Structure 1
Amino acid sequence: MIEIPSDLHKDVVSLAFLLGTWEGAGVYDFPGTEKCNFGQEVVFRHDGRPFIEYRSRTWVLDEAGEKIRPLENEHAFWRVTTNQHGAGGEREIEVSSVRDDGTVEIWYGKLHDGKPQIDIATDAVARIEGAPAYSGGKRLFGLVNEDLLWVGEKAAPEVPLRPYMSAQLKKVLNPAQLVRDVNDLPDDGIAFFR
């Protein structure tokens, strides 16, 4: 079930399925780098303004699933606009992001009608001098059986666009929400089961 917070800005209600903290694991594989399994924590949150804040932290995992070292961090802001040129006013996604390796990206894409799925692609990429070679990418996010799945594609001057990173993430329970839910139970607790 997707819960829509009462203070969520109306412009980003269509992104409510992303809200929360998600954790899981995936695979990283790009030419010229070490192929590895990685762990990931993603947080989508809002503060009432017309965007969703996104934070992602990833780390390399060993064979036992233990953290070895950081892989990459990313911070972004997601906005929803309505394309007045499309039939029915298609919802479009605009994302501005920065990664810890010195890469800044502007992404555009769309939110699919009738399903929690988002496709985005880079429109602009800027890099500091020491950042790895990178010329653009695509990402697909989707809610499947209550898990957040995503796949990223990446291109570099010497490597055509190809899948390089994907993960399956599960929503982390919020202890504050659990306390509110417990407070909603009948006083004796037994009446709940009757």
Structure 2
Amino acid sequence: PLLTPVLGLLGTWRGTGRGEYPTLAEDFAYEQEVTFSHDGRPFLRYESRAWLVGPDGGPLRPSARESGWFRLQPDGRVEALITQPTGVAEIAAGHAADGTVDLATHEVALTPTAKQVDATRRRYTLTEPGTLTCAHDLAAVGVELRHHLSARLTRDGHQPVPTDG
């Protein structure tokens, strides 16, 4: 029952997005794949990978990669643990309701050589059947929390559509 607010996220999602940040020379385009799965317990397994793409839409190189867990709590509360191979581990807390998961930083841990990350905010929203939008705000390397990434993903047609039953 704790998974009810997030059942619509289950499956693999693919699509494209745009990114920007004041410390980057220019905006960029990317492709992203996000997978949410579970084993019957009140946890969602989260995995995301992205590739930078060129003006023609062709892949240039791998980009962000992360994995973790969303821990569902009563009343739609969510706790998330998200790690990245760049040495960043985020603990976030938020809420899931009406097809949206909204998470904000509780704590960030960094390896000794990781770039400074102070806070994030992530929103995963089911905007229409089979469509997931992802938005990621970031406070890092001396820049206050601001928009960083946004993507529009569609459900992989090879995945079964989850049901409430």
Taking structure 1 as the reference length, the TM-score comes to 0.78
Q: CA deviation at 1:145?
A: 1.5
Match of 1:162 among 129, 143, 146: 146
Match of 2:89 among 101, 104, 116: 104
1:18 equivalent in alignment to 2:2: no
1:139 equivalent in alignment to 2:122: yes
Aligned residues: 159
Cα RMSD (Å): 1.5
Q: Distance in 1 between matches of 2:57 and 2:31?
A: 8
Match of 1:171 among 148, 155, 161: 155
Amino acid at match of 1:77: W
Whose Rg is larger? 1
- Higher RCO, 1 vs 2 (CA within 8 Å, ≥6 residues apart): 2
Counterpart of 1:128 in structure 2 is: 111
Counterpart of 1:79 in structure 2 is: 71
Amino acid at match of 1:21: T
Taking structure 2 as the reference length, the TM-score comes to 0.91
Contact 2:115 2:141 in 1 (8 A): no
Match of 1:53 among 45, 50, 55: 45
Contact 1:98 1:105 in 2 (8 A): yes
Contact 1:12 1:79 in 2 (8 A): no
Counterpart of 1:28 in structure 2 is: 19
- Over the matched positions of the two proteins, sequence identity in percent amounts to 31
Deviation by residue 1:1-57 (Cα, 9 ceiling, x = unmatched): xxxxxxxxx321221100000000101111222521000000111112220101000
**Structure 2 unaligned spans of 5+:** none
